[in-house]
Structures are given as C-alpha cells and as structure tokens.
Structure 1
C-alpha cells in the first residue's frame, strides 16, 4: 500500500526545509524516513523537515515539530518558524496574522502581517545549565551571565553558552571567513560539556548594530543561515556590551534582524520563501 504525501520546499536565507502537515494528511515522522527525505542526492534534500500538527493545547493554533537531517527531533528553529507561519497561511490552514504555536521547547508567537518580513517571538534566552543542557563540570564559569571558559582542541576559549530553545555556544572571531567552522563545530558535538550536542555560532562584530555570523548546526553541519544562532549571537554581544538592542545579522544566505532587551523576549525578523510544491509516495515500510 502506498500513500501520497504533499509537501512544500521552503527556505529562510538558504536554510532550507521540507514542510508538510498532518492536518490534511497522514504522516508519521520516523527517523529513517526523515533522513531519506532530507538526503540531497537520493531524496528531496533539506536541512530540516518541518511538521505542522493540530495543537495539543486548545489555546494554541498549531503544533510545530522540527527534525534535523540526521532524523533526530530538534526543539527550536527560528528560520523554520517563519516558513511555518507562511506555510499555514498560504495553504489556507489559518486566516490569522498572529499565530500562537506549540513546540518541544514551549510556546512561540509568529507575526505574519507582513509576509515579506515575518517576525517571530523566540521567547527569552535561557541560561540555566540544567535547561540548556550544559555539564558545568566540563567548563569554567566566568563572572558575566552565560560566559564560560572551555577547553577545545588543545586551547582554552572564552564562549557564551545559552539556549534559544536549543543549545548554543557563541564564539567571537576576528573574521568569520577564517573561522574553523567545521573543525570546531564538529569537535564540540562530542565535548562533555554538551550532553545533547550544541549549535555553534562564530561571530564577527562589525559595529554596534551589525555582525557577521556563521553557524554549525548539530545534526546538520554548517547551514547558510540559522535563526536561533543569530538570536544567540546577538544576546551574547549584548551581554558583553558590544551590541545595541537591535542588530542586523549577516549570514551566508542573507540578513536577519534581531532585537533583544535583557529580561525580555528575543525578536527575530526576516524572509520566508516557498520554492516549490510537490508530492512523494511512501510505502508502509517508509520507502518512497
């Protein structure tokens, strides 16, 4: 028996997604099937697969699930959230312009009143080691909030560690073009400080309202853009008194805007683009 599954290929600054819903069709996100969908040679190809589900909480509009290309479920994705908002609106699943959605990491708000620049309320940054999660025995705490010293590849580095719904380690670099993104990012996935892996941001400050950023995402590798990585990078810069409350973030795929006032939520704004619609067939054994 085969089933036709309809999807939309989308991206936020080149951070690309396969988006599908389980409201109008039956789909079970098994890890093996997610990996095959995400495969760029033998599948559709994407960084993450995004699933639209009916809300578990009647006060919310939808449930939002994210699966990395390795098949593992992630707790948050800012670029994906913007694509999620545009998808449900343009596919006629909602007529609302402000959406309250549930995720593994909690509730988030998406403002789609301007489809050319969608804003997501990412909630406040999380610094609790238990919630990140962070093994504090594997790092040395520094005086400023979220700041640590970590041993990495034979050197000690000052970093900022926090969660934006998923764990982030932010590293300041003189130039993002010269950052050892793959080497350092891959090494940190196995570091004892991060029991569930970590997204790693490499940040170059250009001005108080402008940074460059490259991100190695756990379960994916380096992506053209990472919304939560942009948020974490701006939070880190503000904590170090290097950035203003509103910052333009240049990533390989384009620019995002991040706003944050300490103690408040982080607001992420940027584009979300639908590339094409398609369908694939799956057997009950999960091949397509």
Structure 2
C-alpha cells in the first residue's frame, strides 16, 4: 500500500474567506481532488473555502506562481482574497521583499503592493464584459441580462475577472434568499462553465453590501473577485462610482477602478490563523 505523505500547511483568511496554503515549490505535486475534499471538510479535515498551492514560476521577474482549488476539489481561475494571502505568506517567508512584486495566477500576472497599514492591494486586470469572454450565452453584450426562473425573472450584469460572475442588484442582502437564487442562477445553461453569483445592495455611490455564492464552494464570508465584479458591473450600469467600499459578511474590501482601460484594484486585509501537518 502506498503511504500518503504528510502535508505542512498554513491556515489563513482574508476578510473571513478562509484558505489552506501549501508550499509546493521545488516541484512537489499538488494533492488529488479527493484529498482536497478530505482536507476541506470542516468536520473531519482542516476546513476551508479554497486551497492555495504556492509553486515555482518560470519567470525570473515573478516571485511565485499560485493555483486555487475549491473545497469540492475543482480548480478555480482567480481568487482575490486568496492572492492577498499568498502575498502575505511569501513576504513572511522572505521570498517576496519590498512593497511591490508580481505573482502568477491561473488568470494571469497579478501586481501586488503592500500598504503601510499591512493590507495588500492587487491589480486584478481589466474586467471583461464580452459574453464570449465570461463565458455567457447571449446574443450581444449588454449592461443588463434577464433569466426566467421559478417565481419570476431575475436581472443581472455579467463580467469576467478571470472567472465568471453574475451580479444581481437587490434591495436588501439580508432579505434575499441567496441559497435559493445562487444555485438556481449558477446551474443555468447560459453559463457553460458555471458562475459566481453576487447579490449587491447599494447603500451609497461609494458603498455597497455584498453576498456571493461561489462555484464549487457555496456562500463564502467574502469573495475578492466577486467584490471587483460587483463594482465593475454597477459602474457600467451607472449605479456606483469608481471607488467603492464593499461590506461582506466577513469584512470590508476596497475596490478602485480608475477608468475602463485600467485594471481594477482590490485592497483588503489578511490574517494567519494557525499552521500544522495534515496526513
């Protein structure tokens, strides 16, 4: 019988969105989807929303590469809260020095800046609204789309931040049945790769509340790419300004999108929780 090697891990979170971080530099293999699911179980494993693997980058100007695994074992393309945790981990490790550095993500290169208050800002790339880039099955690009669902019709905006997002504006996130509407929208054939579903409540042009139902995870306490997506969609719809505070169940993120041709910037906290060995 082949023995399963023990894995040294760090548990971290960004605004309540929690992660297990594995150092796989030096060519170590990533855990199998089955083992990811075992580790992610909150009763019999470690528990997390996503698992992050830190790996060697082939580029000399990049500190490291990271990959993202949902709790169901499926891969993800982007995770803003996770990227901040990777940045903080690499700075504590000593691999990243200075206030500015680059990371490779599954969705492309991320520019990182460490702020004086200990938070991290990430340039997340330009939002993609073309349906084929999301991907979304639609006849043409629009600021608003509609879906018929049991009980009525939902209206949403759609965007890719390296992963697909549908954003629904609601009167109150507290009064919205996220666990009914989230999987209902997520499963629609209009989203051939699934979709992260955000529910945004506008408090002011520079302040929103947000809940996100994620692919492969369910509702999380925070979603960094989801916060970026919500602001990008609402900017395009003329509903908010370009510098927005986003309050999520687990904490607050700051989103800036200077103009349509600029990358959207995510700023928020990170925290180390504990470390250990699994297996």
TM-score range, shorter chain: over 0.9
Q: Structure 2 residue aligned with 1:226, among 223, 232, 237?
A: 223
> SS at the partner of 1:178?
coil
Q: Is the 8 A contact 1:248 1:258 kept in 2?
A: yes
Aligned partner of 1:198 in structure 2 is 195
1:23-56 CA distances to partner (integer Å, 9 max, x unpaired)? 1683423111111111101110000000101003
Q: What is the root-mean-square deviation in Å for CA atoms of aligned residues? A: 1.6
Alignment of structure 1 residues 1-288 onto 2, 5 Å: 1-23=3-25, 26-114=28-116, 116-136=118-138, 145-260=142-257, 261-281=259-279
User: Matches of 2:131 and 2:58 in 1, distance apart?
Assistant: 28
Mapped contact 1:5–1:27 kept (Cα < 8 A): no
- Bigger drift between 4-13 and 150-159 goes to 150-159
- Identify if the C-alpha distance between structure 1 residues 184 and 47 changes in structure 2 by more than 3 Å, giving closer, same or farther: same
| Secondary structure of residue in 2 paired with 1:136 | coil
Partner Cα separation in structure 1 for residue 6 and residue 114 of structure 2 = 29
What is the CA–CA distance in structure 1 between the aligned matches of 2:24 and 2:222, rounded to whole Å?
A: 26
| CA distance in 1: counterparts of 2:249 and 2:221, whole angstroms | 5
In 2, Cα distance between equivalents of 1:24 and 1:91: 15
Alpha-carbon shift at residue 280 of structure 1 (Å) = 1.6
- Tell me the matched-pair count: 276
Q: Which consecutive unaligned segments of at least 5 residues does structure 1 have? A: 282-288
List structure 1 runs of 4+ shifted beyond 6 angstroms: none
Does structure 2 retain, via aligned residues, the 8 Å contact 1:5–1:25?
no
CA distance in 2, matches of 1:17, 1:191: 28
TM-score under structure 1 normalisation?
A: 0.91
